[in-house]
Amino acid sequence: MSGKDHARRNVLGSEQGSSLIELAFLMPVFLLLIMGATEFGWLAYDSVAVSNAAYAGAAYGAQSRTTAMDITNMEAAAIEDGANVAGMTATATTSCTCSSGTAITCANSVTTCSSPDRIFELVQVNTSATVTPILHVANLPVAFTLHGQAILRVQR
């Protein structure tokens, strides 16, 4: 074997080894990217779940005037819908307005609205949950608080 052939083999052999070394250097970067994308996906999923839970609670309350006054079960419906999100809380309220925009109490809605005005009874459910990501990155919060809100008109 001549000196030139031996030099060619060393060059080819070192190129194959350098690919393995480059892969070893880049693998942690790839793993961090995959973990970050996974964390972002879980955060987005939890955000949608918190918003949907608020809608589920409001949908329960908007069925009738009776369910609109059932604050406890509106909140329970919201928490049950968001059972996959740990530590979620829900707050439900009921309000009434005249179609002209005048805010009134639901107890005296019949006597307060003028004749052409209609009474609108609304239910509102607010949900929130604090989510702690597995991966902590410098300069980012350790926990994220997610909020959901739904307002629906009560069926008559």
- Does 110 score more than 80 pLDDT? no
pLDDT of residue 13: 54
**What does the alpha-carbon distance between residue 106 and residue 103 come to, in Å, rounded to a whole number?**
9
* Residue 83 confidence (pLDDT) above 80: yes
Reply yes or no on whether the pLDDT at 103 is more than 80.
no
Helix (H) or strand (E) holding 43: helix 3-61
In the prediction, which pLDDT does 77 show? 96
CA distances from 94 to 41, 49, 82, 104, 153 (A): 34, 23, 21, 11, 10
Q: What is the pLDDT of residues 10-31, one digit of tens each?
A: 555 556 678 888 888 899 999 9
What's the confidence (pLDDT) of residue 140?
Answer: 79
All structural domains of the chain with their residue ranges? 3-153
Alpha carbon separation from 104 to 63, 109, 120, 155 (Å, rounded): 21, 6, 10, 18
- How confident is the model at residue 15, as a pLDDT? 65
- Which structure tokens are listed for 117? 């005005």
pLDDT above 80: residue 114: no
Please give the mean pLDDT across all residues of the chain: 85
Which residue matches tokens 């597995």? 134
